[in-house]
């Protein structure tokens, strides 16, 4: 998958150093993935949650953080829409962000 954009991850881990390694690991794994359906994601990430508008919610660092991504399966692109803690996550609408 093509991840857009790693810069979002980097900006987050520069503030939250404990998220750096988990986000780097997530990024490396996703870059190698060839997901065509949500079932493919579930193979790699059993705890991923799926919401409207092709949004997927990933738990990062043992569910300390959440990452919301929009996925275009046809083009193999994953757009990072949000990375944050639960308190910040509760303030967004994952289906529209």
pLDDT digits (tens, 9 = 90+) for 5-39: 899 999 999 999 999 999 999 999 999 999 999 99
59: Cβ–Cβ under 8 A, 6 or more apart, which residues? 47, 48, 65, 66
- Joined together, the tokens standing for residue 82 give 């949000």
Domains of the chain, start order: 2-86 (3.30.2310.20)
Q: Please, what is the average pLDDT of the chain?
A: 96
Q: Give pLDDT, residue 46.
A: 95
Q: Give pLDDT, residue 34.
A: 95
Phi, psi of 95 (to 5 degrees): -80, -20
Q: Give pLDDT, residue 24.
A: 97
């Amino acid at each position: 998958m093509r991840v857009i954009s790693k810069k979002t991850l980097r900006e987050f881990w520069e503030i939250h150093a404990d998220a750096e390694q988990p986000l780097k690991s997530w990024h490396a794994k996703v870059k190698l993935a060839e997901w065509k359906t949500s079932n493919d994601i579930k193979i790699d990430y059993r705890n991923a949650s799926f919401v409207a508008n092709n949004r997927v919610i990933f738990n990062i660092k043992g569910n300390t953080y959440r990452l919301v991504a929009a996925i275009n399966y046809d083009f193999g692109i994953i757009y990072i829409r949000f990375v944050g803690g639960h308190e910040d996550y509760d303030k967004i609408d994952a289906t529209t962000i």
